[in-house]
Amino acid sequence: MQQALADRTAPSAAAARVRRLPPEAGILLVLIALALAFELLGWIFVHQSFLANEQRLVIMILQVSVIGVIAVGVTQVIITGGIDLSSGSVVALTAMVAASLAQSSEAVRAVYPALIDLPVIVPVVAGLAVGAAAGLVNGTLIASTGIPPFIATLGVMVSARGLAKWYTRGQPVSMLTDPYAAIGSGAVPVVVFLATALLFHVALRHTRYGKFTYAIGANREAARVAGIRVGRHLVLVYAIAGLLSGLAGVLTSARAVSGQAGMGLMYELDAIAAAVIGGASLSGGVGRITGTVIGTLILGVVTSGFTFLRIDAYYQEIVKGGIIVAAVVADQYRRRRRLTAT
């Protein structure tokens, strides 16, 4: 009898141990494996180290920081069971608006001699406000009309891109002030990305905002019955995602020292990919910022690794597509296994 009991409890203890591993463990292993693969291929084909190059690593993280900032917002949207397709276009719109307010007075001295440089806070706040406003439109459309987030944000995606072009009739905005350009220089975008990630990691795990976000994604009807004002909360989540897209727009224009209506093209898809690779489930209720950060780094390693191996950019995209699909397949597999186990 004692023996039988021991036999029965043994496997469940093992199962519990497996369950206690953070869900990011698997995806972290993928990140490490990819980095090591590039290291190995580097020694074979280009005879140098992939990882032992500080500059390459900095550039790699710098390249994905903007995507990372967007992905932090998109992750929250995905946790509610929604999607945000408008991020890339919102990046372009905020880049245009912010850049236009950050233009150096030197640029237009001939026409407007009285103009002075605006303090750097003005374009930054304007950019964030435009982003938040776009998110507010997304959230309000979804909450008040009940149309699917896919459609609402698709509409905003197209309109925001149009607005970005209309704003300067398609002309790029250049000659920005030095303080503004400083926002995009050096490691600032990386710091902004990591700070944003930390902030919302804490918000999702330790605040009522986070608890409600997960609950809405897990079961919207139950959330409503439990007393959550679902519509109001969704507006907030989409506004935050918009705000972060606006932040990404500021970073992008500052780094390029210009605003262009073509900026941020397809960024929304990279951000969604980062979130999904990191374990966020498009059916809602599941996802973590730590996973999204790792997902973002995976995208960075792939891009940087292919460049390092001097492989055409075409292949990069093909492989990136494969990774996204593989991540979702792995997620489905995990879920199915869990379902049959109960």
Partner 1 sequence: MAAAVATPVRPDLLEVRGVSKSFPGVAALEDVTLRLRHGTVHALMGENGAGKSTLMKIVAGVCTPDSGELRLEGRALRLGSPGQALAAGIAMIHQELNLLPTMSVAENIWIGREPLNALRLVRRRELNRRARDLLERLAVDLDPQAELRTLPLAARQMVEIARALSYDSRLLIMDEPTSALTEREAERLFAVIRDLRSRGVGIFYITHRIEELFALADEISVLRDGRHVGTSCPRDLTRDDIIRMMVGRELPPPAAAAPAQAGPVALSAQGLSVAGEFEDVSFELHAGEILGVAGLVGSGRSKLAETLFGLVAPTAGEIRIGGSAVRLDSPAAAISRGLGFLTEDRKESGCFLSLSVLENLEISVLSRDFVRMGFVHAAGARRACERMVSALRVKTPGLGERIENLSGGNQQKVLLGRWLLLEPKILILDEPTRGVDVGAKAEIHQLIARLVAAGTAVLMISSEMPEILAMSHRVMVMHEGRVTGILERAAATQVKIMDLAAR
Interface residues for partner 1 in 257-316 (CB under 8 A)?
285-286
* Tokens 């693969």 -> residue: 37
CB 27 within 8 A of CB 35: no
336 lies in the binding site for partner 1 (CB under 8 A): no
- Alpha-carbon distance of 198 to 176, in angstroms, equals 30
Q: How far apart are CA 195 and CA 179, in angstroms?
A: 20
Nearest residue (CB) to partner 1, 32 versus 222: 222
342 scored as a contact of partner 1 (CB under 8 A): yes
For residue 41, the minimal CB distance to partner 1 (Å) is: 38
Which one, 196 or 258, has the nearer CB to partner 1? 196
Structure tokens given for 298: 């995976």
Give the bridge partners for 173, in sequence order.
259
38-46, 103-111, 226-234, 304-312 -> range binding partner 1 (CB under 8 A):
226-234
In this complex, which beta carbon is closest to partner 1, that of residue 68 or of residue 73?
73
Of 313, 316, 327, 202, which is closest to residue 274 (Cα–Cα)? 327
Q: Site for partner 1 (CB under 8 A): how many residues? A: 30
Residue 290 Cβ, how far from partner 1 at the closest point, in Å? 18
184-223 footprint of partner 1 as x/- string (CB under 8 A) = ----------------------xxxx-xx-xx--xx-xxx
CB of 208 to partner 1, least distance (A): 5
Question: Do residues 71 and 289 touch, judged by C-beta distance below 8 A?
Answer: no
Biggest distance spanned by C-alpha atoms of the chain: 95
Query: What backbone torsions phi and psi does residue 213 show, to the nearest 5 degrees?
Result: -60, -45
Name the one range near partner 1 by CB under 8 A: 30-38, 60-68, 225-233, 314-322.
225-233
Phi-psi region of 22 (alpha: psi -120 to 50; beta: other; left: phi over 0): beta
Measured CA to CA, the distance from residue 243 to residue 91 in angstroms comes to 10
Nearer to partner 1, 110 or 225 (CB): 225
Which residue from 1, 5, 11, 146 is in contact with partner 1, where contact means CB under 8 A? 11
Q: Applying CB under 8 A, which residues contact partner 1?
A: 8, 11-12, 14-16, 206-209, 211-212, 214-215, 218-219, 221-229, 285-286, 340-342
